[in-house]
Chain A
Amino acid sequence: MNDIGAAPESPRAVADKRSKPALLRAIRMALRVESAAVRHNTQAFNRGRYREVAELTDYDALKDRARQIKEEAITRLPELLATLQSSVLAAGGHFYLASSAQEATQYIAETCRRSGSRLVVKGKSMTSEEVGINRRLAAEHMEVAETDLAEFILQVADEQPSHIVAPAMHYSRERITELFRRVFATDEPLDTGEELTRFARERLRQKFLAADVGITGANLIAADSATLMLVESEGNIRMSSLLPPLHIAIAGIEKVVPSRGDFAPFLELLGSSFNGQRMTSYTSIISPPLSDPVLQEKGQAPQRQFHLVLVDNGRTAMREDPVLREALYCIRCSACLNSCANFQAVGGHAFGGETYAGGIGAAWEAGTRSLAAARFSELCTGCTRCINQCPVRIDVPWLNTVLRQRLNKMNASPVARLRKPQPTPGTNDDWPAPIVKLFWGRYGMIARWGARLPSLSNRLAKSALVRRIMHSAVGLDRRRELPSFPRETLVPAARREMAPTIEHAIGKVALLADVFTNYTSPQRGLAAINVLRAMGVDVATSEVIADGRSELSQGLIAAATRQARAAAECVGVFLDEDRDLIIVEPSVLAMFRLDYRHLLAPEQYERLRQRSFDPAEYIWRLLQQDAGRAAQLFDAGRSQVGVRIFYHAHCQQRTIGAAAANEALLRATGFDVISSQVECCGMAGSFGYKRDFYELSMAVGEDLFAQVRAAESDGERILVASGTSCQEQLHAGLKRNVLHPMQVLDSVLRNEK
Chain B
Amino acid sequence: MSCMTAASQSEGLIQQFETSARRSAATTQRISRSPSAIAEAVFGLVPQRARLAISDPVDLAPDLFTESWKHPGVIRERTRSALSTADAGLTEGFAAVARSGSICVRADRGFIGYVSLLPRLHIAVVDSSCIVERPRDLFGGRLAVHGLEHNFVFITGPSATADMGPLVRGVHGPHRLHVLLLI
Q: Is the CB of B79 within 8 A of A298?
A: yes
A291-B109, A295-B79 given; A233·B171 CB < 8 A: yes
- A37 to chain B: closest CB distance in Å? 9
* A263 close to B (CB within 8 Å): yes
- Which residues of A sit under 8 angstroms from B158, Cβ to Cβ? 281
- Which residues of B sit under 8 angstroms from A204, Cβ to Cβ? 172
* A280 close to B (CB within 8 Å): yes
Interface string of A151-178 (1 = CB under 8 A from B): 0110000000000001010011110100
Nearest chain A residue, comparing its CB with the CB of B102: A279
- A144 to chain B: closest CB distance in Å? 17
* B73 close to A (CB within 8 Å): no
Out of A172, A208, A281, name the residue touching B159 (CB < 8 Å).
A281
Q: Count the A residues whose beta carbon is within 8 Å of the partner chain — how many?
A: 60
Q: Which interface residue of B149, B153, B166 has the most chain A CB atoms within 10 A?
A: B153
* B35 close to A (CB within 8 Å): no
- Which residues of B sit under 8 angstroms from A284, Cβ to Cβ? 107, 151-153
A297 to B147, CA, bound (A): 33
- Which residues of B sit under 8 angstroms from A281, Cβ to Cβ? 24, 155-160, 173
Nearest chain A residue, comparing its CB with the CB of B97: A279
A233-B161, A283-B153 given; A268·B117 CB < 8 A: no
Is the contact region of chain B dominated by helix, strand, or loop, or is it mixed?
loop
A264 to B154, CA, bound (A): 12
* A225 close to B (CB within 8 Å): yes
A287 to B107, CA, bound (A): 10
A267-B154, A268-B134, A291-B108 given; A242·B117 CB < 8 A: yes
- Binding-face segment, A102-110, A190-198, A398-406: A190-198
Nearest chain B residue, comparing its CB with the CB of A284: B153
- Which residues of B sit under 8 angstroms from A297, Cβ to Cβ? 79-81
List which A121-162 residues lie within 8 A (CB) of chain B: 147-150, 152-153
Q: Is the CB of B139 within 8 A of A261?
A: yes
Out of B80, B108, B154, B171, name the residue touching A235 (CB < 8 Å).
B171
A259 to B140, CA, bound (A): 12
* B11 close to A (CB within 8 Å): no
* A265 close to B (CB within 8 Å): yes
- Which residues of A sit under 8 angstroms from B110, Cβ to Cβ? 292
A255 to B31, CA, bound (A): 42
* B114 close to A (CB within 8 Å): yes
A209-B80, A225-B148, A290-B107 given; A260·B139 CB < 8 A: yes
A225-B148, A286-B151, A290-B151 given; A261·B168 CB < 8 A: no
* A656 close to B (CB within 8 Å): no
Q: Which interface residue of A166, A174, A290, A292 has the most chain B CB atoms within 10 A?
A: A292
A293 to B113, CA, bound (A): 11
Q: Is the CB of A296 within 8 A of B80?
A: yes
Q: Is the CB of A234 within 8 A of B100?
A: no
- Which residues of B sit under 8 angstroms from A238, Cβ to Cβ? 107, 113, 117, 153, 172-173
A197-B170, A205-B172 given; A290·B108 CB < 8 A: yes
- A178 to chain B: closest CB distance in Å? 12
Q: Is the CB of A285 within 8 A of B147?
A: yes
- Which residues of B sit under 8 angstroms from A293, Cβ to Cβ? 78
A192 to B166, CA, bound (A): 8
* A236 close to B (CB within 8 Å): yes
Q: Is the CB of A278 within 8 A of B100?
A: yes
Out of A174, A234, A286, A295, name the residue touching B83 (CB < 8 Å).
A295
Interface string of A272-306 (1 = CB under 8 A from B): 00000111111111110011110111100000000
Interface string of A339-362 (1 = CB under 8 A from B): 000000000000000000000000
A279 to B25, CA, bound (A): 13
Out of B155, B156, B173, name the residue touching A278 (CB < 8 Å).
B156
A259 to B135, CA, bound (A): 16
A345 to B113, CA, bound (A): 41
Nearest chain A residue, comparing its CB with the CB of B82: A295
Q: Is the CB of B111 within 8 A of A292?
A: yes
Nearest chain B residue, comparing its CB with the CB of A304: B108
- A282 to chain B: closest CB distance in Å? 6
A298 to B81, CA, bound (A): 10
* B7 close to A (CB within 8 Å): no
Listed by A's residue number, 21 A-B pairs whose Cβ atoms lie within 8 Å are: A149-B163, A149-B171, A193-B165, A193-B166, A197-B164, A197-B168, A197-B170, A201-B171, A209-B84, A238-B172, A239-B173, A278-B24, A279-B100, A282-B155, A283-B154, A290-B113, A292-B112, A293-B78, A295-B84, A297-B79, A297-B81
Besides A205-B84, A279-B102, A283-B102, 6 more A-B contacts (Cβ < 8 Å) are: A205-B172, A233-B171, A242-B114, A265-B136, A279-B154, A285-B107
The 4 A-B residue pairs whose C-beta atoms are closest, nearest first, are A235-B173, A173-B165, A264-B136, A235-B172
